[in-house]
Amino acid sequence: MKQIPNILTLSNLFCGALAIIFILHAPEYIAEFNGTEYTITNPEPIYWASGLVVLAGIIDFFDGFVARLLKVSSEMGKQLDSLADVVSFGVVPGMILFRLLQSAYMQMPEVYDVSVFNLAPALQVPCFAAYRLAVFNLDTRQTEHFIGVPTPAVGFLVASFPLIMLYNPFGLAQWLENIWVLYGIIAALCYLMVSSHPMISLKFKNLTVKDNWPRFLLVILTVASIPVLGYAAVPFVFAVYVVLSLIVPPKSQHG
């Protein structure tokens, strides 16, 4: 029984590793337009990678829940969880952003190839995610709220980008085709993960409105935005989460 949470954690890692395979094997083909050849990446495998990040996030929630339920929490499980998270919510988002940057560059006039140095900033995401997870394991303050944005939130946000590109809700896809917007997103995510700002956690110690109204508001806005915004609900909820945490910094709950 005590290994069930660890099996779930390894399932999280399995999803992350499989997502990487999908991203790496997104086939490329040559298309000709007005006499000019372009390298085009088939985006379908990247959509599957997005789905696997979401599945990894669901598993990540339940492994901790099951560990507490079975009362088998351990230091080894804590370390294993962070190792899995750095892949699923660090490396995979970094590779998705790498692909998005590559695609954005290839759509620019007179661009036929992209230097890896132009795409390398995307790989800062897994580096900052690893640093954030290492700090989290050592920081005893993060029992009731987070310090800095948690990596699963970053993973969910970036995983929504390929789906936003596909369905283009509210014309958002054009923004993800802009290299400077993507560079800005990368810089913001890296900063938020390692910042010292207290961020809301959905860990309820009690159900009083006074202690939990920011949490209740976040949950309500999340549920209400999904049918209205579709995949655009993910960046909307992420933005609300960050702004709400900054405006109303979470405090330790008692009772």
**What's the confidence (pLDDT) of residue 252?**
54
In angstroms, the CA 50 to CA 160 distance is 7
Q: Domain ranges in the chain?
A: 4-198
Q: Directed axis angle between helix 151-167 and helix 44-70, to 10°? A: 150
The answer to whether the beta carbons of residues 232 and 163 sit under 8 Å apart is: no
**What's the confidence (pLDDT) of residue 36?**
52
Highest CATH level, class, for 4-198: mainly alpha
Two tokens, residue 14: 């399995």
Sign of the four-CA dihedral 195, 201, 205, 208: positive
pTM assigned to the model: 0.87
Question: From residue 87, how far is each of 13, 17, 57, 93, 207 by CA, in Å?
Answer: 7, 7, 12, 9, 34
Nearest to 153 by CA among 211, 103, 222: 222
Two tokens, residue 156: 């969910």
Alpha carbon 18 to its chain's center: 16
The amino acid at 184: G
Q: Quick one: DSSP state of residue 144? A: S
The answer to whether the beta carbons of residues 203 and 251 sit under 8 Å apart is: no
Question: From residue 156, how far is each of 40, 57, 134, 153, 206 by CA, in Å?
Answer: 25, 8, 20, 5, 27
The answer to whether the beta carbons of residues 50 and 20 sit under 8 Å apart is: no
Tell me: the pLDDT tens digits for 206-255?
A: 677 777 888 899 999 999 999 999 999 999 999 999 999 999 877 654 43
Nearest to 55 by CA among 152, 198, 167: 152
Residue ranges in the chain assigned as alpha helix (H): 4-24, 44-70, 75-86, 92-106, 116-119, 124-138, 151-167, 179-194, 209-229, 233-247
The answer to whether the beta carbons of residues 102 and 119 sit under 8 Å apart is: yes
**What's the confidence (pLDDT) of residue 255?**
38
- Per-residue confidence of the chain (255 residues) as pLDDT tens digits? 678 888 999 999 999 999 999 998 865 544 444 555 544 455 577 889 999 999 999 999 888 888 878 877 788 888 999 999 999 999 999 999 999 998 888 777 766 677 889 999 999 999 999 999 999 888 877 767 889 999 999 999 999 999 998 888 999 989 998 999 999 999 999 999 999 999 988 876 767 777 788 889 999 999 999 999 999 999 999 999 999 999 987 765 443
In angstroms, the CA 103 to CA 100 distance is 5
